[in-house]
Chains A and B, each alone.
Chain A
Amino acid sequence: MMEQEILYNKIFGISGKDFANAGSVSVKIKKILKEIGIKPEVVYRVSICCYEAEMNVIMYARIAKLNFTITPNEVIIIIEDEGPGIENIELAMKEGFSTATQEMREMGFGAGLGLPNIKNNSDEFKIETELLKGTKLFFKIYLN
């Protein structure tokens, strides 16, 4: 694969259970993309994916790093968390599957749509997980 020029890169931290700041990283990313002048469709798709991934860290993991990169052709997001990992990825990717607690459901989460939403809004999507270690989510959204 050819090395790509990096136009922008920033790493954000996300803490599990931090419901008070939930979504703030995604909102920051949205603002950056908008300021740079990325077209709205891409801005929305990236923000939606980031929000879903950020919420999953807050709900299920202990801590994570979100690596946000813009190249001339795409936005690349890598989110690596320390957490329980996902037992069955195929199941987790199914719409409607959720292990959200009652408390999370009362906050409006647990529809089991987050991971499918990320997959549907991205152009490339990969998920890796190791039980009791954590989960790594990788997705790309093309600029054109």
Chain B
Amino acid sequence: MQLKEIVNILECKNHTDEGLLWRDIEYCYATDMMSDVLKTCKIGSLLITGLVNQQVIQVAEIMDLKGIIFVSGKEPATEIIEKANEKNLPMLTTEKQLFEACGILYTFGLRGREIFQKADDGTGNSI
């Protein structure tokens, strides 16, 4: 599903370059803990989080995340938006809360890494 569609579904505000919204999203991951992303998140996922800070952007770069959605109407500071733009990282915000946002995306067919799925990108210890 393209980010463009996700913007519509979750009524997101887009803070970065419009051109990035053509990106295709296959997998999603939701957490407020950075080590969770590094442990379990599939490379190239879309991250849905309530955590709004610089660290999220660094982790996004490590995991080649395709985008970030900040939930509960939390607005990123200008420096964070600038950093995301520098790194071509789509950054969206939605008024919806974490559970709601994930639930909606799930009904539209998006999935996370299944717990029984082997780590095909070679990271982590998912069995």
A interface residues with partner B (beta carbon < 8 Å)? 19-20, 22-24, 26-27, 30, 40-42, 44-45, 47-48, 51-52, 55, 107-114, 116-117, 120-121
Contact = CB atoms under 8 A, between A and B. Distances in A.
Nearest to B40: A113
Interface string B30-43: 00111110110001
Interface of B: 32-36, 38-39, 43, 51, 53-56, 58-59, 61-63, 121-125
Contact of A48 (B32, B38, B53, B54): B38
Nearest to B53: A107
B62 A23 contact: yes
Contacts of B61: 23, 27, 30
Given A117-B35, A121-B124, 12 more contacts: A20-B54, A27-B62, A40-B122, A47-B62, A51-B59, A108-B51, A108-B55, A111-B35, A113-B33, A113-B36, A113-B38, A117-B39
A45 B59 contact: no
Contacts of A20: 54
Contact of B123 (A19, A45, A55, A113): A45
